Amino acid sequence: MKISEVMTRDVETIRPDQSAQEAARFMLRTDAGSIPVTDGDRLVGMITDRDIAVRGVAKGYGPDTPVRELMTDDVVCARSDDSVEDVASKMSEAQVRRLPVIDENERLCGIVSLGDLSRESDNETAAQALEGVSQPGGQHQQ
């Protein structure tokens, strides 16, 4: 099964010039811990609640700080034609709960979460992703 069959296609994004406060409001409204950062339809980063708290607040940045200053720009992502199993493995290795999905033209076309994997694939695939995400340690990526 391809990840394009289970991913969420209607993805809300934020621009790099928008503020950390706008990103935080989005996360609060949608009960999400991360949001893709796009320039047009091109994925340029991810910003998480942890980026805002740890990179932002802990280092003295204010709510008007542009997202580009706090986001992770080396984003782990999936390709729309990747298999569900490969994406679960990638999520596990990167220790992330959500992975943006890009198409053959490098444009953001969706996002996949642990929830998507657990609803749409076998339990073993979702368990594989969760196992890595649950492991302690590692550097925060997205």
Nearest alpha carbon to residue 34 among 99, 90, 86: 99
What gap in Å lies between CA 64 and CA 111, rounded to an integer? 26
Establish if 57 belongs to a structural domain. Answer: yes
What gap in Å lies between CA 6 and CA 138, rounded to an integer? 27
pLDDT reported for residue 47: 96
Q: Which domain holds residue 45?
A: 3-134
What gap in Å lies between CA 81 and CA 59, rounded to an integer? 39
Establish if 139 belongs to a structural domain. Answer: no
- Flag whether the pTM goes above 0.75: yes
pLDDT reported for residue 123: 55
pLDDT along the chain (142 residues), means of 10: 91 96 94 92 94 91 96 93 91 88 93 82 54 52 52
pLDDT reported for residue 95: 85
Q: Read off the tokens for 117.
A: 């994997």
Establish if 22 belongs to a structural domain. Answer: yes
What is the tally of structural domains in the chain?
Answer: 1
pLDDT reported for residue 92: 86
CATH number, domain at 27? Answer: 3.10.580.10
pLDDT reported for residue 136: 54
Which helix (H) or strand (E) segment holds residue 22: the answer is helix 20-30
Nearest alpha carbon to residue 94 among 31, 33, 137: 137
